Amino acid sequence: MNPTDLTQMNWIAANADWFYLVGAVLFILTLRGLSSPKTAIRGNRFGMAAMAIAVITTFFLAEGPVLWLIIGAMILGALVGMWKAKTVAMTEMPETVALMHSFVGLSAVAIAIATVLNTTHEHSTIARVELFIGCFIGAITFSASVFAFGKLGAKKWAKTVGGAWVKPVQLILFVAMLAFGGIYFVTESMPAFYAMTALAIVFGWMWIAPIGGGDMPVVVSLLNSFSGWAAAGIGFTLGNSMLIIAGSLVGSSGAILSYIMCKAMNRSLLNVLFGGIGTAAAATGGDDGAPKTYKSGSAEDAGFLMSNASDVIIVPGYGMAQGRAQNAVKELYELLKEEGVNVRFAIHPVAGRMPGHMNVLLAEADVPYDDILEMDEINSDFPSTDVVLVIGANDVVNPSAKDDPSSPIFGMPILEASKAQTVMVIKRSMSTGYAGLDNPLFYLDKTMMIFGDAKKMVEEMVRTINGGGH
């Protein structure tokens, strides 16, 4: 290596704190940009720039780096990332996000173990605390995220568990994990450290396994927070300020998002994590077992009604994602606009399988942001709305949340679609939603059920409107 190259490397290393400061500012701007769909692309660009600065700067700070290993890992990671970005369908995005969180947790565990095994450095009291916290948060994040991945992807091995034995087992695992962590802290015993790690992995699995499907959006956002704190823990272990800052930003923003979503469900975070809406138990809530009747109609009927309405609100749910119907919905939206209909979208904070799921789908289809309204912005407009089209949503429009004190979701704010003059619901069947709850909205006289794949039904509506019009 020539002297000029060495001088450049030394200059980067000497000014690493300034580069990290620039990166930290860019990460903050990233979060600011991601707070709105209109600025999300710019926010992502800030994030990519910040990460590039962080990686390059850290590379020059490394002591005796194994260049081929570092470069190989970066190339492999980039290739896998680009492959997944191109191949993962939007319907699979929630479980993909959960899987990414698991990798962050696993890396925290691997780095903690490697640091403990490094006998060339004596671990101070503070260092042992950092290793203890970073390792068990990482281990919990890893196993909990793997289970969330399986649950969101409907894997057979990720079944919800329940029973009176669950909470005692959770408590025993948690206490035992802390006990072995304490033993490691006092004695630096490696077996104790390994036991703590193993118990944290088991605890993470048992912590998420009892949580019902209706609470998974909160779980995903919380695991995002945990992955951030795990990354911050890695930063303390490695003495890397950039990683501490970035991890703390992710951790705090994920925690805030979890709080917002819990507020939208009118529940506490502790209730979600250690109470939850159990799918089996919840399914019986408020159901007297009496036969119920509903009206069904065709996509042609729905197209005719919407084309002759003045105001239409579309409520997207997971059914839209499952059917990959967002582009067809965009076409329906544009066609109704051309017919002079006032069309808007109503978004519930916990619709879908992850935070912002519906917003992402509609953004992908280039639906104008001005016509995408949050629950608090549009709820008062439902009584004056001619037609509401619900696409694969259940729990977020369930009037039991307001009308049935015995319902597990009583008190949860909902999109008040039942107040509209006419309600049309696209569903594959009359099966319950992800939370396992029946929906009285489907049995109202004003409601018309349209059974079938969301994309096919919306495309038929488009054809009907194109052929008829006003």
Catalytic site positions: 395
**CA 267 to chain CA centroid, nearest Å:** 18
d(CA 23, CA 241): 11
d(CA 271, CA 31): 28
d(CA 382, CA 421): 8
d(CA 202, CA 212): 19
d(CA 435, CA 346): 20
Tokens of 286: 């408020």
Count, residues in the chain: 470
Strands of 342-347's sheet in order across:
372-374, 342-347, 311-316, 387-391, 422-427, 447-451
CB 384 within 8 A of CB 270: no
Tokens of 326: 């967002």
Please, what is the angle between helix 190-208 and helix 93-117, to 10°?
170
**φ/ψ bin of 469: left (φ > 0), alpha (ψ from -120 to 50), beta (otherwise):** left
Candidates 50, 117, 96; CA nearest to 353 is 96
Please, what is the angle between helix 125-152 and helix 216-238, to 10°?
150
DSSP 374-403: EHHHHGGGGGG-SEEEEES--GGG-THHHH
Candidates 385, 364, 265, 260; CA nearest to 315 is 385
CB 101 within 8 A of CB 152: no
For residue 249, give every residue at least 6 positions away whose Cβ sits within 8 Å of its Cβ, in sequence order, or none.
27, 28, 31, 228
